[in-house]
Amino acid sequence: MVIGGVHAADIADEFGTPVYVTDEQRLRDNYRRIYEAFSKYMDTRVHYACKANTNLAILRILEQEGAGIDAVSIGEVLTCIKAGYSPKRIMYTGVNVSDSELKAVADLGVMINIDSESEMERLARIAPGHQVSFRITPGVGSGHGAKVITGNKGAKFGIPLDKVIPVYSRAEDLGFDIRGIHAHIGSGGQSPEPFADMTEVLIDNVNRLSDLGIKLDFIDIGGGIGVPYRPQEEEMDVGEMAMNITDMITEYTDVKTLVLEPGRYIVCDSTVLLTRVNDIKDAGVKKYVGCDAGFNTLIRPAMYDSYHYAAIANKFGKACTDKFDIVGPICESGDYLARDRPLPDPKEGDIVAIYNAGAYGFSMSSNYNSRPLCREVLVNEGRAELIREAETPEEMWRHQIVPERLSR
């Protein structure tokens, strides 16, 4: 296996495992593809949903490409500013936000996408006249599983449809600088129809607001564009999706700017997780390949039952000999990366590559079982560079305090 011109086995030998490896050119290509698909039809701003992956080097690459940012916490806002983003290129969309976080975001001059009536009233006291948009609940859901569908009726996110017009009217009375309207229906959707249905809802509300004299600068259709995780799965046609959605907006509204917030689409397939085989076990009814990465490193298979394609990186082209579960070192029966996968005669020391690991891989990793966070590497045109050091045990302990009385 070769990633960005570098052999995967060489990366594993040089930097150790487990390690996330990102191909810089694939990252740039993904951003350009989504931006060009929409911008050919109307003014478009692509705000990378950075919760998918907040590595500073990855953020820096996307800043160079011209991306904006969709941030959901003050930590993400500060991380993106450190990576070189102007606050004006960031939109903050939090949920159940504290007063202290609202103030911190507002003080930085970042636009706030308001999620609730409570948040609106509190922000009016904290930062009068602030630049805002509103997240609405469109009653349309999409996603790869129930845990990531966010736009359905009754969801915890956004302003319910029957309250949208009164909320915007109240915001105008409060003196906010109202700029846009936003919805996000979920994560990992593979069908374009829910995006079109959501856009219809947004358009209807834009026009109702326009009749009241409230003119908006942009419509934000959120993110959630899925990517193929399985070998035979087809990609969503973003070109057709872009043409249909921009046609709807330009034909039925006066809004001139479209905002979208892809995260997974940009970073997912740019990255693989490399993990070394420590153990092979035949349990009779099941055979296991035991690796040094578990759900502390990549939690998606255990948390969402997500499929990630897996291969032995140093045995490409070899015939598969049997089916195996690929499991990790965590003391839990649910600690697995892949189930029942055909593999070519695995041995201790082999390197397993877990594909499509760039989105919600490292960003959802943990110290469970007191295991340090792993390294990250960037590859580009035959060169591999470390972009995150592996965590040490001392760094895991750095914020813990043992009361003096317990040390006696």
Catalytic residues, by residue number, are 331
In 50-68, which positions are buried (b, 16+ CB within 10 angstroms) versus exposed (e)?
Answer: bbbbbbebbbbbbbebebb
Beta carbons of 315 and 349 less than 8 angstroms apart: no
Which residues have a Cβ under 8 Å from the Cβ of 105 and sit 6 or more positions away?
74, 77, 92, 94, 112
Q: How far apart are CA 307 and CA 60, in angstroms?
A: 29
Report the distance separating Cα 46 and Cα 31, nearest Å: 8
How distant, in Å, are the alpha carbons of 5, 10, 267 from that of 13?
A: 16, 5, 24
Burial of 381 (0-12, 13-18, 19+ CB in 10 A): exposed
3-state secondary structure labels for all residues of 226-249? CCCCCCCCCCCCHHHHHHHHHHHH
Cα 211 to Cα 79, 136, 254, distances in angstroms = 40, 18, 12
Q: How many CB atoms lie within 10 A of CB 210?
A: 14
Number of residues that this document lists for the chain: 408
- Fill in the amino acid letter for 35: Y
C-alpha–C-alpha distance, residues 186 and 195, integer Å? 10
The span from the CA of 70 to the CA of 135, in Å, is: 13
Tell me which H or E stretch contains 322.
strand 322-327
Read off φ and ψ for residue 98, nearest 5 degrees. Answer: -75, 160
